Structure 1
């Protein structure tokens, strides 16, 4: 009996010790929670996190501790960890309203809008007067609406508007990788490659195996004409996700683009310009979003056009190349040369000026000066054209040209014509005198060829030139010319006759 009683007493003491220990653990856990609350209010979330974790370790069946740690994880933007704690809290206590609210907030932040809406509906069942749940449920519904709109815009090619919707979604769902990837893809399509890579890299820092983020990085490389590295990224995507349709499609397009562009280059180098033009055109139809590669293709096709004398088409292709890449030096250079060949000198000066700003090399500066000189020349009278001779014409050729045209446009020959015709012929006759006075003088002709202004030439200006004096001096001061019924200038001696008074045939000179 006594032994038995002793044993019973010992067993009772052990049970009492256990109760004391359990009570002590709960008290310690509660103290840790209290400390965590103080740190939380001071925005010291890392210390708060430590306290709540200690409380959970001491008492792992208290829903409030998990709820508090979930709130702390949310403040640290660790929504996946917060979601795990919130779920554990409502598993322990399904009536824990704050647990349901925090689970909904995590689902919303992560872009799981249907799950978020369910959580908020559960809150309203438990607490119909709750004011937080309706507001956040509306946010979740708005995110779902914007996400659907963005998907439709992506499908219809309205990328800029889709990007706007994605930014709105991310304001309410900042931890949603799916929205981030859609945003990064939109930025890549719009040519904002640096921003796109920053967004995709942000995803990869948290999830290195995210195939979609790797795909977007490859897309940026592909659109920047770094095709080889892009292909490596697409291959990595297909290893991570063999059924990744977008990666497979772009990989196929990239391979096709490389092949078609090279075919065009081979045809061009072989002198098969028509074939090269067709191949470059086919390459341009492969992917309209690949701006840098397409810019090069347009410039290549422009080069082909310049070879087959389709200068207008060449200018158009260069303009498209520059529109896709406004720093593309070769496109500016090619277009400027085409402008020079088509005598569009103002446009040529504009392109050479832009080219010089992008690359201040000596050759570009020289080309700019030549274009400016050509523009200056184009704004003055073309004396070679007036006389109808080439710029390399000899003195004899210039004299013969003047002799022929001066007789053709002399006012006396048109004395019976309509007043407008007389006026026009007088103008042409005067211009012939101006042209001959410059081109027949070696010094003046040289300065004219160098592009100097007419008023800078030696001697009096053209207003002082008497075309009749030049005519008389050319044919001799004592000779006379008869135009039909009239006699020009009282120059005596010789006469000039036509076959009729209307001068339909050639003129003949008679020197007495």
Structure 2
């Protein structure tokens, strides 16, 4: 009976040991997979829940931050992009919201809320055709979706109004243009959608020297309100207020005219306060006033573009150049034809030595307005870009570009002594090589900046080697010896560990 027991121990024990090892390895693999896939998902879900809580409280900026953290943890989750799109819509950032909504449906084409939000963004940005396609997709996924059914009706109505308005404008028939426009006024549209529909009528009203609308509808509150809106969104706020006030005289209970009038007056007052503070040199106050003005009506794109550009001007005065660049970019995003914003941003790029970006902006300006001034600005930026790609001898010596001859000599003396090879004779080979390189650059810089002819060519951006001045072959020691009094006239001597003094012969 004992022999079979020994046999079992001999053959089965290793099998059990191998099985245990395999189970441990499998458990380890499962733990690693959990850490790799499930923990990030759980953390991302936590961020999403926090984002939801802030969204409910209407703290959309914080909600945006937490949804972004969730996306960073799990960038393939469609619902996270959908939630962030909804938040961006509440912040009136429709273009960014559109990108997130589109990404959500790319990740999950059956994500109904993603298609719905994409459609709303298209509608808010004035693209009723694209909006209609999105709402139709929602109804394919969920035929009884009441919100999509209503939004589809809105999109189709707007497309029909656009068609009618364009026909009326071509015929120069005011009544045919104003009917669809007035119908759109009754709908809750954003500025982009409003301007999309109002473009034909706006052009007709603002360009007509006879002001037919006033002769034909001088007592029509809706017509007066429409004319006021056209002017308001063209940044003609004073005139817009006049029409809103007249509309309210005709119809005191015209709520839309009252709201538009209040916004227009508040926007005008805050902008003027900012302008006054700027003229008085109170830049911090002006910055705050322009910031407050930007919160009054996010839908007034033209006025807000000017406010961003004004705030950028103040920012440049306060040396907040990065913020000024950002504000100019926001102004350009609102109005891609805003030349003043391009010029302001280009100047900020020049001030921060971002010459390639400056050249791009000046090229855009010059393509739009081919004036001598814009051509000069472009050439200057191109020159600075060219100069930035070579050695900056002023930086090598540590002097300003307007340094005097004496300042250049003093700087050379200091840098040459600092980097002279004899001073570093006991250093490592790597340090010696680096210091020798710096010593040579200091000699190059001095040889150019101390010579009026070379300095002039260098400052004008010309290549010194065009005149046969090969800066790679010259001997920095010759400059050093000449500066310090002739050959053999200078030496370093140690006066203690790490301490040196120099002697003249």
Indicate the TM-score class for this superposition, using the shorter chain for normalisation. Answer: 0.5 to 0.7
- 1:181-260 correspondence runs (5 A): 181=182, 183=184, 189-190=191-192, 193=195, 195-198=197-200, 211-212=221-222, 214-260=224-270
Partner of 2:472: 463
C-alpha root-mean-square deviation of aligned residues, in Å?
A: 3.6
Note if contact 1:169-1:179 (Cα within 8 Å) is conserved in structure 2. no
1:334 CA displacement: 1.9
- 1:395-434 correspondence runs (5 A): 395-434=405-444
Secondary structure at the counterpart of residue 507 of structure 1:
strand
Note if contact 1:180-1:199 (Cα within 8 Å) is conserved in structure 2. yes
Partner of 1:499: 495
Partner of 1:383: 393
Note if contact 1:234-1:251 (Cα within 8 Å) is conserved in structure 2. yes
Whether 2:356 is the aligned partner of 1:320: answer no
Whether 2:441 is the aligned partner of 1:447: answer no
Note if contact 2:492-2:501 (Cα within 8 Å) is conserved in structure 1. yes
Q: Distance in 1 between matches of 2:460 and 2:159?
A: 65
- 1:227-306 correspondence runs (5 A): 227-306=237-316
- 1:107-126 correspondence runs (5 A): none
Note if contact 2:190-2:299 (Cα within 8 Å) is conserved in structure 1. no
Note if contact 2:128-2:158 (Cα within 8 Å) is conserved in structure 1. no
Note if contact 2:387-2:461 (Cα within 8 Å) is conserved in structure 1. yes
1:239 CA displacement: 4.3
Deviations 1:407-456 (A, max 9, x none): 21122322332333222212101111211221222211111111102322
1:375 CA displacement: 1.5
- 1:329-340 correspondence runs (5 A): 329-340=339-350
Note if contact 2:313-2:324 (Cα within 8 Å) is conserved in structure 1. yes
Q: Distance in 2 between matches of 1:222 and 1:178?
A: 20
Q: Distance in 2 between matches of 1:462 and 1:198?
A: 64
Whether 2:383 is the aligned partner of 1:373: answer yes
Partner of 2:156: 168
Note if contact 1:387-1:401 (Cα within 8 Å) is conserved in structure 2. yes
Secondary structure at the counterpart of residue 472 of structure 2:
helix
Q: Distance in 1 between matches of 2:369 and 2:179?
A: 42
Q: Distance in 1 between matches of 2:425 and 2:240?
A: 79
Q: Distance in 2 between matches of 1:339 and 1:437?
A: 31
Q: Distance in 2 between matches of 1:364 and 1:170?
A: 41
Note if contact 2:457-2:464 (Cα within 8 Å) is conserved in structure 1. no
Note if contact 1:496-1:510 (Cα within 8 Å) is conserved in structure 2. no
TM-score normalised by length of structure 1: 0.59
Note if contact 2:247-2:257 (Cα within 8 Å) is conserved in structure 1. yes
1:222 CA displacement: 0.7
Structure 1 gap segments, 5+ residues each:
1-148, 482-494
Q: Distance in 2 between matches of 1:172 and 1:390?
A: 65
Q: Distance in 1 between matches of 2:386 and 2:380?
A: 10
1:402 CA displacement: 2.1
Secondary structure at the counterpart of residue 435 of structure 1:
helix
Q: Distance in 2 between matches of 1:302 and 1:326?
A: 16
Note if contact 1:221-1:230 (Cα within 8 Å) is conserved in structure 2. yes
Among candidates 319, 326, 346, match of residue 356 of structure 2: 346
Q: Distance in 2 between matches of 1:266 and 1:427?
A: 55
Q: Which has the larger radius of gyration?
A: 1
Q: Distance in 1 between matches of 2:357 and 2:294?
A: 26
Quick one: structure 1 residues 256 and 393, their matched pair in 2 at CA, closer, same or farther if it must change by over 3 Å? closer
Partner of 1:311: 321
Note if contact 1:159-1:186 (Cα within 8 Å) is conserved in structure 2. no
Partner of 2:502: 508
Note if contact 1:480-1:496 (Cα within 8 Å) is conserved in structure 2. no
1:186 CA displacement: 7.3
Note if contact 1:188-1:220 (Cα within 8 Å) is conserved in structure 2. no
1:293 CA displacement: 0.9
Q: Distance in 2 between matches of 1:170 and 1:395?
A: 71
Note if contact 1:280-1:301 (Cα within 8 Å) is conserved in structure 2. yes
Q: Distance in 1 between matches of 2:473 and 2:199?
A: 71
Partner of 1:479: 488
TM-score normalised by length of structure 2: 0.60
Deviations 1:156-189 (A, max 9, x none): 9687569743342467899999976454667871
Note if contact 2:228-2:240 (Cα within 8 Å) is conserved in structure 1. yes
